[in-house]
């Protein structure tokens, strides 16, 4: 299981070893209960409580390890999964899940317990996904599941195609670079699957969802998926004119928000396992909202919870820093906005016109990636300078404001350079105090969004305080600056091809991803597996 270390505990005649994911919230109380029974703890971890609690259950009430697991499930609070073995019995494992993922991999003459099918790529493609409270006992030849009430249960066998995972890095130095390069293909796949090639209209599989009547939308997600949600708000409000709230899942779930009756709740999650997003989804579903999930893993826990699921079709993303899944998210949200706009009266010809723009994306992205990946290109040269940077500020307006947040997140998570993203208009309200000759300010600006002049005035403020300026803009913007004599020797201009306004977030994603990637590789950090981060965050 991801990030899990085995812990052993011996009590009475029972010597058990446990591997655990997640958190046992009341572990201190359980520990206090176990101490008088002779448990001797070697660590301060919640994991260590599990083998002792199980051994104690076996001493006093449970006849089998599975019964002991059911008994401790009744006592533990939290969001977790664990697997336990008796020392000396290597042929039997018992596992359970409450919130955190756990599934059974069915092999030839061997069965497995894993939190993520990816761990078994190349070994098996057949999996049983456990439900909350299930307890499973596996031996090399048998799988027995009991549900949370201890009753025998059957779980469907799902086939998970992992051939893409097996392909490895395909000659790329890192998975992240491979995944950046896969983005044109991902966008093609999304457009092919979710648009009608003869009418050019969006055709997301939304089942019975009455789009025309949706009065309000909540989009809830974490991290990069949250930033995709912010881009989605822009599309949904601009194109479909529906009011949208976007929230980080950890805030949303604890705020007990009032829901608009008949509202649509959209969870966005690459993994479909993020604990906070899952909890928010469950909250919205219980409140009677129609729940729609955009996920890259249609077999995930969230997919089994939501009313409607749209597959992001990005195929497995292995690098911790999300790139191609983000691209799939914003493309899918753009299509959703258009489908909603059509349901609310936008003329089909106009909708089809927008889809036609989206269809140009794969070609635009391909040339952008090729051009910007050049080892001696502007981005690589800039990255060389950034190796020494201590702090960076990313600024953008309109649909590029969330891209500034995403650019800063990509940079900080893989290069470990402190980076913050802000809406440009916020600069004067605080961040400007940070500007000195050390600070790198990356400005994202499109020349045709009516806000370019304001960007220039932001740049002047940074320049006056000797900040290091990077301007990412289209050719017209770069020309406008050059013609007005405002490009100074220290300023780096990253030129992006002119694209229709709706495609700005996708086009700007590429240089932002590559700038972070180049900087991290030059600094020598672990690009695919950055420190302290996990690919799916199954605990709060």
**Strand, helix or coil at 129?**
strand
Report the C-alpha gap between 435 and 447 in whole angstroms.
24
Report the residue number, 270 or 378, with the smaller CB distance to ligand F6R: 270
Q: Give CA angle at 148 (147, 149), nearest 5°.
A: 90
Among 115, 146, 188, 271, binds ligand F6R (CB under 6 A): 271
How, if at all, do strands 440-445 and 468-474 pair? parallel
Among 321, 327, 330, 441, indicate the residue that binds ligand F6R (CB under 6 A). Answer: 321
Residue 537 binds to ligand F6R (criterion: CB under 6 A): yes
Q: With binding defined as CB under 6 A, does residue 322 bind ligand F6R? A: yes
Footprint on residues 491-510 left by ligand F6R (CB under 6 A): none
Does residue 269 bind ligand F6R (CB under 6 A)? yes
Answer yes or no whether residue 222 interacts with ligand F6R by CB under 6 A: yes
Contact letters (x/-) for ligand F6R, 400-429, by CB under 6 A? ---------x---x----------------
Quote the least distance from Cβ 534 to ligand F6R, whole Å: 8
Q: Is 536 in the site for ligand F6R (CB under 6 A)?
A: yes
The secondary structure of residue 503, as a DSSP letter, is G
Place of tokens 């017209």: 476
Site string for ligand F6R, 175-214 (x = CB under 6 A): ----------------------------------------
Closest CA to 393 of 465, 482, 321: 465
Is 224 among the residues that bind ligand F6R (CB under 6 A)? yes
Q: Pick the piece of the chain touching ligand F6R (CB under 6 A) from 33-41, 267-275, 336-344, 394-402.
A: 267-275
- Given a contact cutoff of 8 angstroms between Cβ atoms, the answer to whether 237 and 333 are in contact is no
CA distances from 216 to 152, 242, 252 (A): 42, 6, 15
Cα(64)–Cα(58) distance, integer angstroms: 7
- Smallest gap from Cβ 320 to ligand F6R, in A, equals 6
Choose, by CB under 6 A, the member of 73, 162, 274, 447 that binds ligand F6R: 274
Beta carbon nearer to ligand F6R, 100 or 321? 321
Find out whether 433 and 391 touch, Cβ atoms under 8 Å.
Answer: no
CA max distance for the chain: 84
Q: Which residue has the tokens 């690009």?
A: 527
Classified as helix, coil or strand, 291 is strand
CB closest to ligand F6R, residue no: 223
Q: Which of 96, 162, 250, 270 is the binder for ligand F6R (CB under 6 A)?
A: 270
φ/ψ of residue 82, rounded to 5: -150, 160
Q: Which of 21, 183, 218, 277 binds ligand F6R (CB under 6 A)?
A: 277
Decide: is 289 part of the binding site for ligand F6R (CB under 6 A). Answer: no
Among 22-30, 140-148, 222-230, 420-428, which window interacts with ligand F6R (CB under 6 A)?
Answer: 222-230
Measured torsion, CA atoms of residues 42, 48, 51, 54, in degrees rounded to the nearest 10:
120
> Whole-number minimum distance, CB 533 to ligand F6R, in Å?
8
* Tokens encoding 524: 């020598």
Beta bridge partners of 86: 16
Q: Which residues of this protein are in contact with ligand F6R, per CB under 6 A? A: 222-225, 269-271, 274, 277, 321-322, 409, 413, 536-537
């Amino acid at each position: 299981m991801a990030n899990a270390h085995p812990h052993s505990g011996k009590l009475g005649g029972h010597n058990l070893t446990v591997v655990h994911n997640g958190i046992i919230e009341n572990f201190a109380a359980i520990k206090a209960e176990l101490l008088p029974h002779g448990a001797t703890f070697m660590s301060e971890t919640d994991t260590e409580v599990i083998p002792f609690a199980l051994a104690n259950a076996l001493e006093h009430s449970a006849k089998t390890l599975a019964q002991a697991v059911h008994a401790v499930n009744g006592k533990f609070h939290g969001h977790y999964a664990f697997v336990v073995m008796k020392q000396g019995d290597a042929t039997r494992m018992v596992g359970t899940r409450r919130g955190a993922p756990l599934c059974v991999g069915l092999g030839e003459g061997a069965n497995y317990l894993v939190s993520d099918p990816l761990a078994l790529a190349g070994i098996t493609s057949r999996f049983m996904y456990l439900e909350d409270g299930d307890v499973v006992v596996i031996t090399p030849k048998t799988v027995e599941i009991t549900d949370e009430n201890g009753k025998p249960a059957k779980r469907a066998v799902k086939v998970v195609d992992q051939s893409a995972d097996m392909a490895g890095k395909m000659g790329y130095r890192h998975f992240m670079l491979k995944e950046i390069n896969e983005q044109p293909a991902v966008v093609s796949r999304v457009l092919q699957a979710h648009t009608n090639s003869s009418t050019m209209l969006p055709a997301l599989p939304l089942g019975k969802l009455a789009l025309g009547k949706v009065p309000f939308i909540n989009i809830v997600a974490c991290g990069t998926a949250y930033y995709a949600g912010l881009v989605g708000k822009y599309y949904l409000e601009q194109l479909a004119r529906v009011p949208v709230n976007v929230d980080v899942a950890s805030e949303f779930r604890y705020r007990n928000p009032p829901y608009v009756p008949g509202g649509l709740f959209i969870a966005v999650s690459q993994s479909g396992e993020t604990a906070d997003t899952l909890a928010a989804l469950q909250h919205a579903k219980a409140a009677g909202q129609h729940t729609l999930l955009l996920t890259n893993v249609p077999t995930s826990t969230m997919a089994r919870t939501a009313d409607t699921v749209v597959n992001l079709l990005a195929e497995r993303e292995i690098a911790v820093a999300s790139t191609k899944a983000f691209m799939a998210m914003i493309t899918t949200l753009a299509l959703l906005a258009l489908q909603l706009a059509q349901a609310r009266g936008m003329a089909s010809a106009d909708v089809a016109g927008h889809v036609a723009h989206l269809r140009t994306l794969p070609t635009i992205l391909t040339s952008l990636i090729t051009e910007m990946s050049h080892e001696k290109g502007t981005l690589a040269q800039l990255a060389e300078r950034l190796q020494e940077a201590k702090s960076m500020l990313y600024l953008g307006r309109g649909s590029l404001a969330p891209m500034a947040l995403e650019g800063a997140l990509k940079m900080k998570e893989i290069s470990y350079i402190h980076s913050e993203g802000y809406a440009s208009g916020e600069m004067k309200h605080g961040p400007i105090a940070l500007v000195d000759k050390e600070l790198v300010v990356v400005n994202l600006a499109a020349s045709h969004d009516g806000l370019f002049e304001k960007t220039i005035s932001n740049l002047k403020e940074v320049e006056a305080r000797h900040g290091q300026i990077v301007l990412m803009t289209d050719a017209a913007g770069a020309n406008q600056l050059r013609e007005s004599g405002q490009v100074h020797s220290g300023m780096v201009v990253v030129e992006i091809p002119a694209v229709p306004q709706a495609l700005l977030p996708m086009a700007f994603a590429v240089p932002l991803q590559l700038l972070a990637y180049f900087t991290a590789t030059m600094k020598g950090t672990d690009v695919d597996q950055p420190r302290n981060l996990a690919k799916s965050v199954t605990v709060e």
